[in-house]
Homo-oligomer: A and B are copies of this chain.
Amino acid sequence: MSRTTRLLDLIQLLRTYRRPVSGNTLAQRLGISIRTLYRDIATLQAQGADIQGAPGFGYVLKPGFLMPPMMLSEEEIEALVLGARWVAARTDDELKDAARNALAKIAAVLPADLRRELETNSLLVSSTKRPIVGATDLAAIREAIRQGFKLDIGYADINGRSTNRRIWPFALGYFEETRVLAAWCELREDFRHFRAERIASMIVTDIRVPQTRQQLLAEWRRVHNVKSDM
Q: List residues of A whose CB falls within 8 A of some B CB.
A: 12, 15, 47-50, 62-80, 82-89, 91, 94-95, 98-99, 101-102, 105-106, 109-111, 114, 116, 120, 122-129, 142, 145-146, 170-177, 182, 213-214, 217-218, 229-230
Contact = CB atoms under 8 A, between A and B. Distances in A.
Given A79-B102, A83-B82, A95-B79, A172 B124 contact: yes
B66 A70 contact: yes
A153 to B, nearest CB: 17
Given A64-B71, A64-B74, 14 more contacts: A65-B73, A65-B110, A65-B111, A66-B71, A75-B94, A76-B101, A80-B80, A80-B99, A82-B91, A83-B84, A85-B229, A124-B173, A126-B174, A129-B176
Contacts of A105: 70-72, 76
A87 B79 contact: yes
Nearest to A104: B76
A169 to B, nearest CB: 8
A48 B71 contact: yes
Contacts of A111: 12, 15, 65
Nearest to A139: B75
Contacts of A127: 229-230
Contacts of A110: 65
A72 B71 CA distance: 16
A171 B124 CA distance: 7
Contacts of A122: 142, 145-146, 170-172, 213, 217
Given A89-B229, A217-B120, A174 B125 contact: yes
A89 B218 CA distance: 20
Contacts of A177: 176
A204 to B, nearest CB: 15
A85 to B, nearest CB: 7
